[in-house]
Structure 1
Amino acid sequence: TLMGLSAIDNDNERFLGMVGMHGHYPASVGQDEADLIIAIGARFSDRATGDVSKYAKGARIIHMDIDRAEIDKNISSDLGIGGDLKEALTALIKAVQPARHPAWNARLDALRAIGEEQLEATLDPKELTPHSLIWEVARHTEADTPVVTDVGQHQMWTAQYYPFHKRRTFITSGGLGTMGFGMGAAIGAAQATGKKTVLFTGDGSFGMNLNELATAVSQNTPLVIVIMNNNVLGMVRQWQNLFFDKHYSQTTLNRQTDFVKLAEAFGARGLRIMNRQELGPVMAEAFAHTGPVVVDVAIDPDAFVLPMLPPGGSFDDIITEV
């Protein structure tokens, strides 16, 4: 799930990616075709399941959670286990024998290959895309670098593309949808860990709490703020584009804010990236700086977060291209 990202190393051979509305293709289809799903501390929200009447119809479900109110709340389970997950998993492992499933693993490998092909299509070596931006940032980070997001398209792109390797390195507000969450969380993560911290944000979210740049500068916080600037409220605009006949309402900002000058006015370093050629050199400069840096990155307003499960849809309705 979105909230579970970084708990499993992305390089783990069994890692299929994130599930849900903007989940990775192999994770979504694998979940749909599974005959057993063990949900550990997850709540089966509609963003993760789609149409609950069609969710994983062929699967038996074991739902484990310390909060018993979560069990059977959204999806009926075949076995509900309430209690501490470490104790529950230890008991469950003792109760089963190891088994191999070569046919199923081959199916997952095939799905993973399709998913990797889809991801490769978004990693253009010549164009500045959200994927190429996130991968360039990842080149400058360590496995234990805290990565924070605000809310919106940038949040989902980070969840899809950033390679997490160590637990508790992904900090996001999840389903709460709190635009403006990122600045305070990123400052807190950097101060608590002493590590250079990355904040992925959008021009909409950053505008909600940019005043906290004053705090970051006064504390000389080691913070790289990456603004995916498409000059729109991208996630809502994506819905308006795909599901509301491009009736754009209150999502085209057309703000004239110069984030580089804004950063400098607060006493931070301000940098700008307008094309793919500038990406590498500017990011290297940003990570070489010791204090807070704001990097304003121009993103196509029509770049979409894909795959996407339509609201109320099932995994048969996954949108992989537009």
Structure 2
Amino acid sequence: MEAGAARKELSAGMTRALHEGLVIPAHPLALNEERRLDERRQRALTRYYAASGAGGIAVGVHSTQFEIREAGLLERVLSLAAEEIERAGLSRPFLKVAGICGPTEQALSETELAVSLGYDAGLLSMGGLQGWSEEDILKRTRLIARRIPVIGFYLQPGVGGRVFSYTFWSRFAEIPGIIAIKIAPFNRYQSIDVARAVCCSERADQIALYTGNDDNIVNDLLTVYRFRRKDGQLVEKPVSGGLLGHWAVWTHAAVALLEEIKQVRQSGRVPLDWLTRNIEITESNAAVFDPAHGFEGCIPGIHEVLRRQGLLRGTWCLNPEEQLSAGQAEEIDRIYRDYPHLHDDEFVARHLEEWLR
């Protein structure tokens, strides 16, 4: 790390958009039959997200396949996405988020790469650090946050995460440079820990809450957390938006969904049918993300939906063992049949040719 280098800060407009709420898809990886990068379709995916009205993308994260690092593809994949967003010439704020993972030295190297490529923030994974103390992880976070705005990530233990204490999140929220936390433990108790820690922090108004709880997306987005601090002050915070692998598919519909939810928030009244919509989206996520088999088919499931739309040619992953689980394709068939209002196939069909140029 360059001595004395200052952290890149978000613009006022981008900060405001982050707190108002954005759809941020976790960007998949486009491969050909030889399991090599398909640059044409990788670019097409980024064009799809930009055209869908998304407010950002997260690249180099789980949905992009962590194996891109061993395959030597991290820099190229980050570069392709940054280039396409620049070419899109968007007039709205658009947050470019780079996935950052690994032990401190690796995480710092990935941070410098992200900064050099013009990324706005880093989604800091805390997976794969088994045996690290909470203090060790906080020290690593402070170092990364000195160079790039950080989005924290509470990952569910079922896919490599771990349970953190309320004290950990309280200390995490006090770190300068933390701009948001993706809450994704798939657990109500642990989700509340993060929200309470942020609300009770001196930096509460500087940190946005984002859902990554694919099992509860709509309910999270309709929730306003309210906690009383020790000094008696009552603090409220909504879950502003989502940074989700689920939103890597049917993104145009997800953008419309979040805009509807924002209107409901403003009205102060939540119609009962939103509870039903929450279940519809959770069930569609189950078909794509494959919790029935411990999420083993989650990345191929994303690819399968994109393949059906023509954005990808196949469901290939860098790891040949990552494939659709038994019965998963049939479950996706059923979701298409039962919930046709959730997909955006017509939107994709209208623009696919121009995105593939």
TM-score range (shorter-chain normalised) is 0.3 to 0.5
Higher helix share goes to which structure? 2
Q: TM-score, normalised by structure 2?
A: 0.32
Please identify the structure whose Cα radius of gyration is greater. 1
